[in-house]
Structure 1
Amino acid sequence: MLFRPLNSGNGLFVFAVVLLLVFIGTFVQFKFVRLEENTAALDGGKIVSEAKIARLQNAYNNQLAEEAKGHTLKRKASQNDILIYNRVPKTASTSLVNVAYDLCKRNGFNVLHLNITGNIRVMSIADQARFVHNVTHWEAKKPGLYHGHVAFIDFEKFGSSQRPIYINLLRKPLDRLISYYYFIRFGDNYRPHLIRRKHGDKMTFDECVKKKQPDCNPENMWLQIPFLCGHMPECWEVGNNWALEEAKKNLLTRYLLVGVTEQLSDFVAVLEATLPTFFRGAVQHFKSSKKAHLRRTNQKLEPSQETIDEIQKSKIWKMETELYEFAIAQFEDVKRRMGKGKDGLVYDKGQQFMYEKISPKQAVSF
C-alpha cells in the first residue's frame, strides 16, 4: 500500500514539528510588523528617542523651577559667580545695593563693597592687578557681588581667563549733577546727621549757574562716560570723543545690562529674570520693602528753564546725554523681548525654546 497510518509515536513527532513551524512563522510575522511600524515612525519624523529626550528635558526643567522656588538650587562655582556693579554716584545705586544685601543670605551669595582710599574713581595699575587676582581667586566669596564707585576694569587685559559680569545704572546727566550739588550741601535721608563738605552753603543751583561757580560747571557732568569707558587717561579727559565711543562699545560688549534710574523697577525685574543666583525674589522684595527711594537728597530744588537752557548749550551735556539715550535704547530693546504685566513691569516669560531633530539618532531596540 502507498499509504500507511502513522503510529502514535510518529504522530506526536509530526505534531510537535508542525507546532514549532507555526510558532516560528508567527514570531517572524510579529517582528516584521514591528519593523514596519518603527520604519513608519522614523519616516514620519516621530522618533521614539526624540520624544523620550523631550520628556526628560521637560521633567528636568520642571525640577529646576521647583528647586528655584524653594531656594534649594545647588550650583558649582564658575566665572559667572562674579558680578561687578561699578556704581555711578547719585543714580539710585544705594537702593539697588541694599536689595542685594537683603537677599544675599537667602540666595546664598556674598556682597562686598570696594572702598578705594580717598574716594577716587580709578586705581593704579598695580591695584587693578591685585583686584583682578583677589576677585578671581577668592573662592570662599563666590558667588560674589562686588560694588563700588570705580571705573570699568578690563579683566582680560590682566590675562585673566575669568571675566566677571558687569552691570550699571545711568541717570539723566543734569538731574544727576543737580542731585549731587544739593547732596554735598544738605545730605540725604539715608544718613541725615552726617555733615557734608559744603554744609552751610545755601546757594541754589540756579544762582550757581548765573554766577558761573565751579560746583555747577557743566564739566562736572563728565562722569558716566568715564565710568563705562575705563581706566585709560583718555576716558577721563573731559570732552574726549574717543571716550564716548569706548563707553558705548563697553556698554554693548562688556556689560550684561545697563539700566536707567528712571526705570529702576524694570531694571530689578530684568536682573531677577537673568541672574536668579543673585536677584531671585528681588522684585517682590523691592516692592514690599520700599527700597525704590531709599536715599533722597534733602532740599533739592528744581532748576529754572533758563538754567536748563544754559546747561544744555554745553558740549559735555550733549555727550553725556548721548550716552544716556544710547543706554535707554539698548534697555528698551531688552524689555521688548520680555513680557509685560498689568502693573506695567516687565517679567520673564519662561523658556521660549526647545531642542528637536537631535542627531545621531538613538538606536531602536526590538
Structure 2
Amino acid sequence: MMKNFGSSPLHNSNNHQTPNHIRERHHRKHGLLCALPWRFSLRGYGFCMAALFLFCFGSLCYQLNGGASRILLDIRQYLGKNFFFFFFFFPPISSQVIYNRVGKCGSRTVVILLRLLAEKHKFNLVSSDIHNKTRLMKQEQVDLVKNISKIPQPFLYTRHVHFMNFTRYSGAQPVYINIIRDPISRFLSNYFFRRFGDWRGEQNHLIRTPGMKDDERYLDINVCILENYPECSNPRVFYIIPYFCGQHPKCREPGVWALERAKQNVLENYLLVGILEELEDVLLMLERLLPHYFSGVLDIYKSPEYRKMGNLTGTVRKHTPTLEALQVLYHRMRYEYEFYDFIRDQFHLMKKKIGLRSTSRLPVYPPDFLRELALRTPEPLDEDEELDSDLEDANSWLVHP
C-alpha cells in the first residue's frame, strides 16, 4: 500500500501556511537585509575616522615641528602620485613655504601678489635683499637655515637661491614652490632687461648696470650668440636647472647628472612647480593647495588695479633673434629644455588629475624648427668662475616698501 505524501500533515504545513507564518518569515528576511548595510556602514565609518585621524595627526606634526615628519612626507609623496585628488580637496597645513624664485620667470609679478596676500591673510612674507648670490658655502647654508627657522610661522620666504636640503642641517624641510618659463624666452628677457630695463623707466637699468659700456649694452643679440660671447654660451645659459639641482658644485655643470638630480628634487621636495606661460592656472593651483597663503589670488591678479601695476614689469626693446641664432641657442640649452618639458608635463598631469580644463598654450619656440640643425656647443668654462652677479634678476625696488 502506497502512502499519500500529499495528504500528510507535514506536507500540508508547507503548502497551507497561516498569515502569521508568512509574516514571521518576511520579518526574518528583512532582518537579514537590514543587517548587511549596517555592517558596510560601520566599515565606511571606520575608514573615515582613520582618514580623519591621519589628517589631524599630520596637522599636529606641522604645528609642533614646523613641518612634516619624514614618514608623512613619504605618505604625501605616495598619495600625491596615486590619490592626488585627496590632497586637492583636503590640502595639508604648511606653515613654512619657500619660493626660491628663478630670475626672469615672473617672480616680480608673484612677489607683488604675495605682498597683497600677506596683508590680507596675515602671514609673514620675508623677501631677501640679496639678489646676486644663489650658491652658498656650507656655513652660509647653515646660517640661512637657522635664520629661516626663526621666522614666526606661518611664513613665506622668497629669494633667488638654489635649492637647499634643510634636513642636512637638522632643520625641518619646508614646502618649496616655484615657476619657470620657456628657457629661450627667459634668456632673451634677461638679456634685454639688463640693458634696457622695463617700463618703469630708463634710469633703473642705468643704475643697475653702471659699469656696462655702450658697446656691450648695444651688442646685437645675434652677434652675441653666433660668435660665442660668454654671456650667450655655457655655462651662463645653463641657468634654470641649478635652482632645482641644489648647492652641489656639479649642479652648475651642464649635463645629465644635474638634470636628473633637479628632477628628483622636484618630485620629492616641491609642492608645485608651474610654468609662466600658464600663470593663471598656476595661481589657481596655488590657491587650492595653499589656501591660507593664496586664497583670492586670482581676483587680485585679474583686478584692473593690479593689471596696471603689473604691466610696468615688462622688458622693453626685446626682439627675437634670427632663426640661425635661435637654433644655436636651443642646442646649447638642450638640458634646460628637457627639464622644462618635464616640468610642463608634470604640471599638466596635475591639472588633469584635478579635472582642471584649460587651454594649454603652444611653446613659444616650437622644437620642430629649432632642432633642424645638429650643432655642437662650446666647452663649458671653469666651474669655479663666478658668473651669477650679472645674471640675477634685480628686484631691489620690490623687496622693501
TM-score when normalising by structure 2: 0.65
In structure 2, the residue matched to 1:209 is 225
Matches within 5 A, 1:29-178: 41-45=34-38, 78-79=66-67, 80-116=94-130, 119-138=132-151, 141-160=152-171, 162-178=172-188
| Runs of 5+ unmatched residues, structure 1 | 1-33, 61-74, 346-366
In structure 2, the residue matched to 1:309 is 327
CA distance in 1, matches of 2:32, 2:312: 66
Conserved? CA contact 1:82–1:143, under 8 Å: yes
CA distance in 2, matches of 1:137, 1:49: 45
CA distance in 2, matches of 1:132, 1:90: 25
> Which deviations, in whole Å up to 9, do the C-alpha atoms of 1:287-320 show, x marking residues without a partner?
1122765521111111111111222232xx1111
Deviation at 1:202, TM superposition (A): 1.5
Conserved? CA contact 1:82–1:135, under 8 Å: no
In structure 2, the residue matched to 1:359 is none
Alpha carbons of structure 1 residues 93 and 199: separation in structure 2 relative to 1, 3 Å: farther
Matches within 5 A, 1:305-344: 305-314=323-332, 317-340=333-356
Conserved? CA contact 2:287–2:294, under 8 Å: yes
CA distance in 2, matches of 1:145, 1:326: 26
Aligned partner letter, 1:338: I
| Runs of 5+ unmatched residues, structure 2 | 1-26, 53-61, 68-93, 361-401
Deviation at 1:120, TM superposition (A): 1.5
In structure 2, the residue matched to 1:236 is 252
In structure 2, the residue matched to 1:350 is none
Q: Secondary structure at the match of 2:203?
A: coil
> Which deviations, in whole Å up to 9, do the C-alpha atoms of 1:113-159 show, x marking residues without a partner?
1233x712112211211221222233xx2111101110001011112
Aligned partner letter, 1:303: P
Conserved? CA contact 2:121–2:292, under 8 Å: yes
In structure 1, the residue matched to 2:279 is 264
Deviation at 1:212, TM superposition (A): 2.8
Q: Secondary structure at the match of 2:158?
A: strand
Moved more, 185-194 or 124-133: 185-194
Conserved? CA contact 1:244–1:319, under 8 Å: yes
Deviation at 1:171, TM superposition (A): 1.6
1:285 aligns with 2:296: no
Conserved? CA contact 1:94–1:294, under 8 Å: no
Aligned partner letter, 1:281: G
Aligned partner letter, 1:273: R
> Which deviations, in whole Å up to 9, do the C-alpha atoms of 1:315-360 show, x marking residues without a partner?
xx1111111111111001011122346x759xxxxxxxxxxxxxxx
Conserved? CA contact 1:95–1:294, under 8 Å: no
Moved more, 269-278 or 257-266: 257-266
In structure 2, the residue matched to 1:68 is none
Conserved? CA contact 1:103–1:278, under 8 Å: yes
TM-score when normalising by structure 1: 0.71
CA distance in 1, matches of 2:202, 2:248: 36
In structure 2, the residue matched to 1:351 is none
Deviation at 1:50, TM superposition (A): 7.9
> Which deviations, in whole Å up to 9, do the C-alpha atoms of 1:243-292 show, x marking residues without a partner?
11100111111111111111111111100011001000011111112276
Alpha carbons of structure 1 residues 41 and 130: separation in structure 2 relative to 1, 3 Å: farther
Conserved? CA contact 1:218–1:311, under 8 Å: no
Alpha carbons of structure 1 residues 35 and 124: separation in structure 2 relative to 1, 3 Å: farther
Alpha carbons of structure 1 residues 46 and 90: separation in structure 2 relative to 1, 3 Å: same
Q: Secondary structure at the match of 1:219?
A: coil
Conserved? CA contact 1:94–1:295, under 8 Å: yes
Moved more, 284-293 or 265-274: 284-293
1:296 aligns with 2:314: yes
1:179 aligns with 2:172: no
In structure 1, the residue matched to 2:22 is none
Conserved? CA contact 1:265–1:292, under 8 Å: no
Alpha carbons of structure 1 residues 47 and 295: separation in structure 2 relative to 1, 3 Å: same
CA distance in 2, matches of 1:86, 1:257: 12
CA distance in 2, matches of 1:150, 1:311: 25
Alpha carbons of structure 1 residues 45 and 173: separation in structure 2 relative to 1, 3 Å: same
Aligned length: 289
In structure 1, the residue matched to 2:365 is none
Aligned partner letter, 1:299: R
CA distance in 2, matches of 1:122, 1:51: 51
Name the % identity.
30
